[in-house]
Amino acid sequence: MSNPPIYPLLFNPIYQYRLWGGRKLAKLLAKPLPKGEPIGEAWLLSDRADHASQVLNGSLKGMTITDLMKHYQTVLMGKFADHYERFPLLLKFLDCKEVLSVQVHPADDQLQYIPKGDSGKTEAWVVVETGKKARIYAGLTPGTTAENLKRSITDKHVADHLHSFTPKVGDGIFIKSGTVHTLGGAVVFEVQENSDTTFRLYDWDRTDVQTGKPRALQVKEALACIDFKQVNIGPVKPVVVKQRGLNKEKLFDNDHFKLWRVKSGVAFMVGAKNEPRILIGIEGHGSVVFEGVNYPLRKGSVMLLPAILGECSCLPTGAVTLLEIGIPSKKHTK
């Protein structure tokens, strides 16, 4: 295909039923929630075969991120064009009204536990909203072994082996693959490797109202993938990026993703030369300017800046808070 007109791309969220979900995403996102069921996840940018995000605006409206990666990969990915067959990140909002299952994800090198064509799963959360019963469980308590953890599933004392804390709005939590984790009573933004491989260790002995049955556990696989050195995981310490008139912090920087939080009431630059960047609106609203055209960025919006755009100006209307996500340089994964 010939090169398309490229511009800041907005995407439609894909809502997902989850038994632990609620209805709070209705306040965060413009797209109405499906009626009458708990919605736990909004997939904001997803290049998955079963759930591919569609462009919401402009001449490319209706095309999926999968289509863009297939036909316009160089324009979209820039210096990463030869690195990835699929867009390498999956971005979500989670409404965790109830606590999720106690779970773990495999690392990239644990190939025997990863479906063909998929990857391991390292992820991170940024807390958007908390409630009175909000709790994050991240990592094990020191001294936990495979034996006593497995025994606690039968005894229903799994929580005794999980490190936990009460989250605050703005907290960033890094969940490396192999880390046992769960959370409840909070709304979070999630950035992760483009993987849907999860092994449930424990699900609090509850029943899924849609099926009338407990959800399946994968105890053997979960125990095999746990990194027992991942203990007492707490919020990260943001790194302040000095920039005049701008409150900018780097929360995450690892082999899979980089994430900055920006708060500003004045114009600032977003994007990067020859790299794709994703913007997530957290508070307030404004617009991103490209070739003299303003593209609106609101609370809950996801905007992909194709690599060919380079840097663009962001014009807040009042105070705005957004997250900017980048892809680090790493080895080829094609």
pLDDT tens digit string along 168-217?
Answer: 999 999 999 999 999 999 999 999 999 999 999 999 999 988 899 999 99
Position 333 in a domain: no
Catalytic residue among 200, 244, 261, 277: 200
Query: Do 73 and 158 belong together in one domain?
Result: yes
Q: Which of 214, 194, 189 is nearest to 203 (CA)?
A: 214
**What confidence tens digit (pLDDT) does each residue in 100-119 have?**
999 999 999 999 999 988 99
- Residue 132's pLDDT band, with cuts at 50, 70 and 90, is very high
- Measured distance CA(190)–CA(196) in Å, rounded: 13
CATH code at position 247: 2.60.120.10
Query: Do 138 and 41 belong together in one domain?
Result: yes
Q: Which residue is listed with tokens 């069921």?
A: 37
Compute CA distances 232 → 59, 92, 137, 161, 179, whole Å: 48, 25, 9, 10, 10
Position 332 in a domain: no
Query: Do 208 and 78 belong together in one domain?
Result: yes
Q: Domain range holding 21?
A: 9-225
Query: Do 98 and 220 belong together in one domain?
Result: yes
How many structural domains comprise the chain?
2
Query: Do 131 and 99 belong together in one domain?
Result: yes
Position 134 pLDDT exceeds 90: yes
Say how many CA atoms lie within 13 Å of 323 toward its Cβ. 29
Last residue of a domain, one of 202, 225, 248: 225
**What confidence tens digit (pLDDT) does each residue in 14-46 have?**
999 999 999 999 999 999 999 989 999 999 999
Compute CA distances 284 → 28, 50, 299, 301, 313, whole Å: 11, 32, 6, 11, 16
Q: What is the pLDDT of residue 243?
A: 77
Query: Do 105 and 246 belong together in one domain?
Result: no
- Measured distance CA(29)–CA(80) in Å, rounded: 30
- Measured distance CA(230)–CA(239) in Å, rounded: 22
117 phi-psi bin (left φ>0, alpha ψ -120 to 50, beta other) = left
SS3 percent helix, strand, coil of the chain, rounded to 5, is: 15, 40, 45
**What confidence tens digit (pLDDT) does each residue in 218-256 have?**
999 999 999 999 999 999 999 998 777 789 999 999 999
Position 1 pLDDT exceeds 60: no
Is 151 an annotated catalytic residue?
A: no
